[in-house]
Amino acid sequence: MSVSTTAIAQGVRTHWRTDRTPLLRLGLLLLATIATIVFFMTINTRGNWDFVLPFRARKVVAMAIVGIAISVSTVAFQTITENRILTPAIMGFDALYMLIQTMVVFFFGGHTLLTLDPKMQFGVEVAIMTVFSTALFWVLFLRSRYSLYLLVMIGIIFGALFRSLTNFAQRMIEPSDFAVLQDVGFASFNAIDESLLGVATVLVLASSLVLWRALPELDLLALGRERAISLGIDYQKSVAIVLMATIVLTSVSTALVGPVAFFGLLVANLAYLVVGSPWHRYTLPAAALLGVMALIGGQTVLEHVFGMNSTLSVIIEFVGGIAFIVLVLRRRPT
């Protein structure tokens, strides 16, 4: 006999009230994030408060949006796939993003890509990535009821196809246009268009709220498909809600800053380690705080230590790639 979701949720809430250690760690993480933001806002201001504070505040908001979107979507995606080395990027979002940029340059030239209205470009990119992922999810998972793992595998195949088409088109364009594509091919956390922050904030907060309301379902989905179903979860519906929120978050972050493959992997696994609890009431906010702190702290070091002689995305990909290798080696059979 299955246990109702309400009963399970009540049990989860009881556990939250009795286990204070993860909550304490989360509080310390919040204080560390606030301290990082304050340090970024005030370092080397030299008294120019009227200019520096508004300028840096916009950068903080932009990096916070991206950090929350990437980290929260990664934790949710790893929960429904039951795999802590997978990220939503594996579904081909970065490859589709680059294919969109490449096709614009291929047909209209690099100047067109650089002069496009940012709001229109952002809306088109988010719409294309969301529609593609939703259609794939609807056909393979909801309508045909194939395994979620097959959906992931098909996403990987489409990602390889998009990269092949991108490489083919890039070989046929002018060198000057290719230079434009090389620039947009790297994630940029320092040049986020401020006119997009309002729409992006609404989309990220709405999707995060959907995941927050699905906390009990996420805790049960982490137990595996069979156990979740036996405990009364409507597996298809719950996975659909989580995956749709994940798709929107990933689409928004990719359209804002470009492709980031390993940042979510790094932040999500740090969140599991820091809070020491499997409950998503702790892991989701911990991942969001770590994402914000990592981006803002990294940008602080980049600006005031290295003098902008590198890019934050390169450092993130390097550290995240090492973390990915370590996680793979730790999971290998003995």
CATH 3.40.640.10 fits 5-331, yes or no: no
The DSSP code sequence of 131-154 is HHHHHHHIIIIIIS---HHHHHHH
Query: What local confidence, expressed as pLDDT, does residue 222 receive?
Result: 87
* SS3 state of residue 249: helix
Q: What is the C-alpha separation between 256 and 59, in angstroms, rounded?
A: 13
- Angle 61-66-67 (CA atoms, 0-180°, nearest 5)? 95
Q: What's the rounded Cα separation, in Å, for the pair 300 and 318?
A: 18
Give residue 92's Cα distance to chain centre.
13
Sign of CA dihedral 136, 141, 145, 151: positive
The residues near 238 (Cβ < 8 Å, ≥ 6 apart) are 214, 217, 220, 221, 228
C-beta separation of 106 from 315 below 8 A: no
The secondary element (H helix, E strand) that includes residue 119 is helix 118-137
248 neighbors 207 (Cβ within 8 angstroms)? yes
Task: Give CA 181 to chain center in angstroms.
Answer: 22
Question: What is the radius of gyration, based on Cα positions, of the chain?
Answer: 21
Is 9 in contact with 216 (CB distance < 8 Å)?
A: yes
pLDDT at 315: 73
The CA distance from 217 to 206, in Å, is: 18
The tens-digit pLDDT sequence of the chain (334 residues) is 344 555 555 555 554 445 678 888 899 999 999 999 999 888 877 767 777 788 888 888 888 999 999 999 999 988 988 888 778 877 777 788 888 888 988 888 888 887 888 888 888 888 888 888 888 777 766 665 666 677 778 878 888 888 899 889 888 888 888 887 877 766 676 667 778 888 899 999 999 999 999 888 899 888 888 888 888 888 888 888 898 899 899 888 888 887 777 788 888 888 998 888 889 999 999 999 999 998 888 888 887 776 665 667 677 767 767 776 776 677 654 4
pLDDT at residue 190, as a whole number:
67
Please answer whether residues 249 and 80 qualify as being in contact, where contact means their C-beta atoms are separated by less than 8 angstroms: no
Helix (H) or strand (E) holding 189: none
> What sign for the dihedral angle of Cα 223, 224, 230, 235?
positive
pLDDT at 309: 58
pLDDT score recorded for residue 310: 60
Residues 264, 107: Cα–Cα separation, whole Å: 33
Task: Say how many CA atoms lie within 13 Å of 271 toward its Cβ.
Answer: 34
**Distance between CA atoms of 235 and 179, rounded to whole angstroms?**
46
Task: Output the six-digit token pair for 301.
Answer: 């070091």
Q: Which single residue is written with the structure tokens 């504070």? A: 53
| Chain CA centroid to CA 29, Å | 19
Q: What is residue 287's predicted lDDT score, i.e. its pLDDT?
A: 93
Both tokens assigned to 169? 């088109």
Domain extents in the chain: 5-331
